[in-house]
Structure 1
Amino acid sequence: MNGDSETGPCTQAANVTHPILWSYVGTITQIAYNNSVYGALTPTSLGPSDRGYCYFCGMSSAVTTMSQSIDLFPYVTDIVSGNVSFNLSAWLGGWTNQDDSAQVSVDFLNYAYQIVGNRTTIGPVLATDRGFTTSL
């Protein structure tokens, strides 16, 4: 559900364009890769070749978090029978020499909002992981 920052508008200026389908704490925006005002990442910056048009940016908040809940009840029969699996992947990055500590996690919850199984996490990505460059 907008995991790639491609749903909804992406800012082409200095304004904040909050991502849709996400809850968030801190200032988060969807920025177009060709945004000449921010200029952090461009379509040719290091990162995925199939990157799309936009990326999520935590701006200048000390801590920014995003979350979303997806109801998997329509798939309960397949889940219980073990016929499905999941694949968590993400392109994580940060700004120059800052340890932005980007990471993504997934928890599966039951209807009482209790975690079922183990949390899966990718990251954090630190400045040394990116070679002290702004990249994904």
Structure 2
Amino acid sequence: MNVPENLQYAATHEWIRLDGAEGTVGITDHAQAELTDVVYVELPKVGAQVTAGQQIAVVESVKAASDIYSPISGTVLAANDALSKNPALINTDPYGEGWIFKIKVEAGEEIEELKSPAQYREQIGGASGAGEGV
């Protein structure tokens, strides 16, 4: 599984790429592989206030629907409208064009609670792929 070194990870299989006080969020390669073919994404509302761990979006695949949780507290700055037309971007490019939303980070200390790439690899390395979420 692809686990980029420049991201941080939630136990529920979301990733966040930080750029100052702004973060870009999506689901991991492991999560999209578990879901299989993504057919629909319910995007968060721009301007929504969210807390870390709050359900913010839904990804539906031919296999199942899965809640997506915000890895950090903040305000939704943007949603990836390209996913409305082409939800499969989550499968083909989960760390690039398949991002789900951008967030203004409001509680920087929450970053410390996220997993490093090594910790996330350890989480998904088990035979069961244990963890909450996807």
TM-score by length of 2: 0.27
Q: Which has the higher contact order (CA 8 A, sep 6+)?
A: 2
Q: Per residue, is there more strand in 1 or in 2? A: 2
TM-score by length of 1: 0.26
Q: Which entry has the higher C-alpha Rg, 1 or 2?
A: 1
Q: Per residue, is there more helix in 1 or in 2? A: 2
